[in-house]
Chain A
Amino acid sequence: MKKEKLFLSEYEHKELFRKRIYRFLPVLSILLLLCLWLLASSNPMSRFPSPAGVWERYLKILEKPIKDLGLLGHIWASLKRVFIALAFAWTLGISFGILIGWNKKANAIFGPIFTAFRAVPPLAWVPLVTMWFGIGEFPKVLIVFVGALMPVVVNTQAGISNVQREYLDIGTIFHANGRQMLFEIAIPSALDAIFAGIRNSTSAGWMVVLAAEMLGGKSGVGFLIVRGMDSGDYELCLLSMICIGVVGYLLAIVIQLLERIICPWTTKKSN
């Protein structure tokens, strides 16, 4: 026991050093990317927007909103659609995933149809959805919902149907009934798989909303890109792209934090 502690402290030293390096590496890569960007845009023939140009575009949009919305306003417009769609996708997707993962009959009935639906990209729904619901807020949310639903269902179903035999054996030994088997054993054991689904659905939702906005809308980051393209304002396009990347990154961090709170055991492994 003592030996182990001694070893750990040495290990911790190394770990500390390693952590510092790992904190530094992302900064390095961002700086490198900026250099590359400068290099690419310094050639006057390339017409590639320069970092300075994008920065100026950023200052300009602060003063002069597009369609009454500032940059943050457009980001929020996109995010709102994603959040509403995700709320429904997670609730329905997890429930449906549990149903077809746990119940063999349900899987036999719904599985094949679902697999076929999965193959259809969310944007393929645009024409039909537009025909039915026009181009308002609801059709966009609906398309994001379709895109975000699939990963949640697939991962939840996989997690539930792959619950390890030994955990179920424990349930049998202790006389657990079907409900207890599901809620005490199968669902918690599938939580990390469910979270993988939640992660994928968030990034899918964020991508689909931008595409949906590009196809018709008056707000959102996707709309900004189309606006930039139509008016030859490539600084605006690139600025929007950077915003998309940053927001996507922040979303991933939020989901990671959420996972740490809900599944503390996954981060507490000794090795």
Chain B
Amino acid sequence: MDNEKIKLRLEHISQSYIVNDQIFDAAVDVSMEVRDSEFLVILGPGRCGKTILLNMIAGLEKPADGKIRLDGEDIQGSDERIGMVFQKRALMPWKTVMENVEFGLKIKRMAKAERRKIARKYIDLVGLQGFEKSYPDELSGGMKQRVSIARAYANNPEILLMDEPFGALDAQTRYAMEEEVQRIWQTEKRTVIFVTNNIEEAIYLADKIVLLTSCPAHVKAVYDVDLPRPRNTIDPKFLQIRKKISENTDLAL
């Protein structure tokens, strides 16, 4: 028996949409378990299923079928214990870096001095000290994503969802950000569910990888990755896992 506690459990989740009078299945019977403080990566080809799964966990949409349990309880709609980092970052251009990061705390009506203090801590953690008063449009893509990560952490979620956060970044920035996310995760242990379509990124970051099929998405295989961190992407063991997953991955159309 595993002595680590199950934090989040998806049970037989299905989701479909009606497109041009036809039913389009996005996800079919997806079940998975996420342990406390685990870094779980959902890896899948193509465009369907992954983001939808995260949106359902975040409460942005309701599954057509199935249950989501957090600490054993059903959750419905958005939950304060779950935070999210969006692919498109979704920073508010009218707010400064500081105001964006403290947004969740302001919504909770936390006093200004207190929320500033917390926001500053996470701005420092993502390495953006000195940019507190900048507006998002003055920052580079990687910096914007750092703000987005700081904003999610500042609200102190138990589970952090990351939806292809580095998809829009250039390769160099992407590697740097992968290291950053790992470093932050190691300093601020939280459960992370990270979605990507990049196998290397998945193996670099994950404790566990859930491989999804192409449309409709369902779980194809689950891999535990127990290589020591920080990982070396050209380590033979790394490449071996990479080959194994790669051979099992559906081609994205």
Residues of A within 8 A of B (CB): 166-167, 169-176, 180, 184-185, 188-189, 191, 263-265, 268-270
Contact = CB atoms under 8 A, between A and B. Distances in A.
Contacts of B92: 167, 170, 185, 188-189
Given A170-B90, A188-B94, A176 B135 contact: no
B94 A172 contact: no
Interface in B101-130: 103-104, 106-108
Give the secondary structure class of B's interface.
loop
Nearest to B83: A173
Nearest to B157: A173
A166 B90 contact: yes
Contacts of A189: 92, 94
A173 B58 contact: yes
Contacts of A265: 93-95, 135-137
A270 B94 CA distance: 14
Given A171-B107, A174-B103, A176-B107, 13 more contacts: A166-B90, A169-B86, A169-B90, A172-B60, A173-B58, A173-B59, A173-B104, A175-B108, A184-B107, A188-B92, A263-B94, A265-B93, A268-B135
Contacts, number: 62
Nearest to B104: A174
Which residue among A173, A174, A191, A263 has the maximum number of chain B CB atoms within 10 Å of its CB? A173
A180 B92 CA distance: 14
A166 B87 CA distance: 10
B182 interface: no
Interface of B: 58-60, 78, 80, 82-84, 86, 88, 90, 92-95, 103-104, 106-108, 135-139, 155
B88 A166 contact: yes
Contact of B107 (A180, A188, A268): A180
Contact of A173 (B60, B108, B139): B60
A166 B84 CA distance: 12
A166 B90 CA distance: 6
A216 to B, nearest CB: 45
11 contacts: A166-B86, A169-B86, A170-B90, A171-B107, A172-B78, A173-B104, A174-B103, A175-B108, A180-B107, A188-B95, A269-B137
